[in-house]
Amino acid sequence: MPVSEPVISCRNVWKLFGPAPEAYLGGLKGDPGFEVIRQAGYISAVRDVSLDIARGEMLVIMGLSGSGKSTLVRCLSRLIEITGGTVSVEGQDIGALSETQLIELRRNKMGMVFQSFGLLPHRTVLENVAFPLEMRGQNRATRRKRALEVIELVGLGGREDYFPRELSGGQQQRVGIARSLAIEPDIWFLDEPFSALDPLIRREMQDEFLRLQGMLGKTIVFITHDFDEALRLADRIAIMKDGAVEQCDTPDQIVLNPATDYVRKFTEEIEKARVVHASGLARPINGVMPEGLPVAGKSTIRALARQLIDDPRESLPVADEAGRITGVLSRKEALDVLLGGQA
């Protein structure tokens, strides 16, 4: 997805932990690595990160424990103060907002879901979902109506009078998602929301999440340490290591063209044909258009396997969902991906 008119923009963002971090950051020269900073007595939880996130985009941030992904998201929402750089939301520097303005921004623009469900145990599903609306001061009838709408949206219709203890882990997570959706946020931050769930429920929640995103078109920042989950959900993936972003790109490009050895290690066990789409390999039309029916750009190379093996054409036109020809796919390059060669 092309990044234009970003909803969230961060420029040269740092988060250092240690004594007088602003003064230390101001004295840094060049591009010191994580270890150099650590030896000076500081932890660079976020290190010189610049990112733009477009409206309606799902950016997945991933990395191992301690890579800085959760800290970065807390910087983007100003749950923690940054040491250096700027974070803007819809063109407004959130570091310049007063506490009252920041609270209003979060209440009206941002939804947050974390790994721990954080449900109120003595309140029903309905009361949990309506809670942020209650904090906004909405009257009981209005907040009940909205809460029932989002409860239905996340597939919990009929369970609005249940208490959290009466729900499964997956259902409790749906309550957390419904609660964050109740305020109709434009921006949605999710920090490993499914990691505590067993694999079957996790897959079900991913399906549900993709369905919701297809309906609602939110701008989403989603944290995970699971590369398969990232590949399934993301428009783009940002891979972090030692507080820095190693690469931020589409899943296709992350898999086909890893920017660093660290990213390459993330992708080496991935079956490329399962991830790479025809549109990801397509090249611009240059000269004569190949004859015959086009392939769908959204189809993975694995899904096209039989056609690629049987089709004698050297090049195949690639079409978008509206049927427009957007590029040309080299059959040889696609077969290299399919059979494990070099793209």
3 in any annotated domain: no
Mean pLDDT value of segment 200-214: 82
pLDDT at 74 > cutoff 50: yes
Domain end (from 222, 256, 271) = 271
pTM, to two decimals: 0.85
pLDDT at 50 > cutoff 90: yes
Closest CA to 227 of 53, 57, 61: 61
User: pLDDT at position 2, please?
Assistant: 41
pLDDT at 288 > cutoff 80: no
User: pLDDT at position 297, please?
Assistant: 93
2 in any annotated domain: no
Mean pLDDT value of segment 285-294: 81
Domain that holds residue 202: 8-271
User: pLDDT at position 158, please?
Assistant: 93
User: pLDDT at position 106, please?
Assistant: 87
Residue 219: what are its φ and ψ, rounded to 5°?
Answer: -90, 120
- Chain centroid to Cα 237, Å, comes to 7
Domain end (from 252, 271, 290) = 271
pLDDT band per the 50, 70, 90 thresholds, residue 154: confident
Give me the percent of the chain exceeding a pLDDT of 90. Answer: 60
User: pLDDT at position 117, please?
Assistant: 66
Closest CA to 189 of 228, 223, 227, 216: 223
Q: Are residues 254 and 335 in the same domain?
A: no
pLDDT at 242 > cutoff 80: yes
Question: Whole-angstrom Cα distance, residue 75 to residue 70?
Answer: 9
Closest CA to 254 of 241, 244, 264, 245: 264
**Gyration radius (Cα) of the chain, Å:** 22
Mean pLDDT value of segment 204-233: 87
Question: Whole-angstrom Cα distance, residue 293 to residue 306?
Answer: 15
- Look at residue 184 and give its three-state secondary structure: coil
Q: Are residues 278 and 298 in the same domain?
A: yes
Mean pLDDT value of segment 8-30: 94
Mean pLDDT value of segment 310-317: 90
Number of domains in the chain: 2
Question: Whole-angstrom Cα distance, residue 295 to residue 331?
Answer: 11
Q: Are residues 159 and 246 in the same domain?
A: yes
- Identify whether the C-beta of residue 61 lies closer than 8 Å to the C-beta of residue 222: yes
pLDDT at 201 > cutoff 80: no
> What is the domain-level CATH number for residue 328?
3.10.580.10
pLDDT per residue as tens digits for the range 80-120 = 999 999 999 999 999 999 999 998 898 888 888 876 667 89
pLDDT at 321 > cutoff 70: yes
pLDDT band per the 50, 70, 90 thresholds, residue 341: low
Closest CA to 83 of 37, 15, 34: 15
pLDDT at 3 > cutoff 60: no
- Chain centroid to Cα 249, Å, comes to 12
Q: Are residues 35 and 117 in the same domain?
A: yes
Neighbours of 263 (CB within 10 A): 19
User: pLDDT at position 210, please?
Assistant: 87
Question: Whole-angstrom Cα distance, residue 181 to residue 8?
Answer: 19
pLDDT band per the 50, 70, 90 thresholds, residue 343: very low
Closest CA to 238 of 88, 80, 99, 53: 53
pLDDT per residue as tens digits for the range 171-189 = 888 898 888 888 888 899 9
Q: Are residues 181 and 240 in the same domain?
A: yes
pLDDT at 6 > cutoff 70: yes
Stronger pLDDT, 291 or 240, i.e. the higher one: 240
